[in-house]
Amino acid sequence: MAKPKPISKEMCLAAMSKTKSILAAARYLNCSYQHLKPYMKSYKDDETGLSLFELHKNQSGKGVPKFMSHTPFGRKTPAIDDIVNGRADASSFSLEKIKFKMIEAGYLLEQCYHCGYDEKRSIDGKLPLLMFFKDKNRNNFQDGNAQMSCYNCYFLNIGKIFNEKDIEKLEGHSVIYKTTEASDFQLDDYHKKKLEELGEWDSKVEDDPYSLVSRKK
């Protein structure tokens, strides 16, 4: 497993300029909160002498876009109109929630941006689609920057989907079909005639095609 990347003070300051909380900064830097926290605590602000963690922790949630509870069970979801129109900081929300709300609101189509593939799996209605960002900025949902791609087009146009270990696991997976019933194996007249020509079948004597399976010359 690769070691988590080190976070420099410059990276922390850049994240602080784009976000409103430590959690959002961690998402902006594509790392975990726990990984970012000690770095933020170790770096000091030149003017105040406070740690970057103290300056940016924002426990009151000031400036962080709020959630709207419009679902039947009171689940909190992002204010998607504000995110899509750039009025809210997308880094404060999970990509999964944003994707769901964009599809629900009609901002994101459940079909491949490249080839139009939109066939759902019959057993559960799921689609083999991944969200991607045209400018590679995962916080930019404006002007159609976020789109969906099927697995094939993602691999061809964007990048890898699976690493080597994932591929090894997938290729090593096999489904074994077991049956206790004998298969109904019958030869038609055409194949019987061909076998007779080869001397492998005598229609006057043999009527069991399974005898051919274990026959030795």
- pLDDT per residue as tens digits for the range 120-154: 888 877 889 999 999 999 889 988 899 999 999 99
| Domain termination residue (choose one: 135, 162, 189) | 162
The helix-helix angle for 9-18 and 33-42 (nearest 10°) equals 110
* Band of pLDDT at residue 216, cut at 50, 70 and 90: very low
* Band of pLDDT at residue 81, cut at 50, 70 and 90: confident
For the chain, the domain total comes to 2
Q: Which domain holds residue 18?
A: 9-56
Same-domain pairing of 98 and 155 = yes
Find all residues with CB under 8 Å of 45, minimum gap 6, and list them: 51, 52, 55
Same-domain pairing of 108 and 156 = yes
| Domain termination residue (choose one: 113, 136, 162) | 162
Among residues of the chain, what percentage have pLDDT more than 90?
A: 24
Handedness of CA 156, 158, 159, 162 (dihedral sign): negative
Task: Classify residue 121: in a domain, yes or no.
Answer: yes
- Which amino acid does the sequence have at 11? M
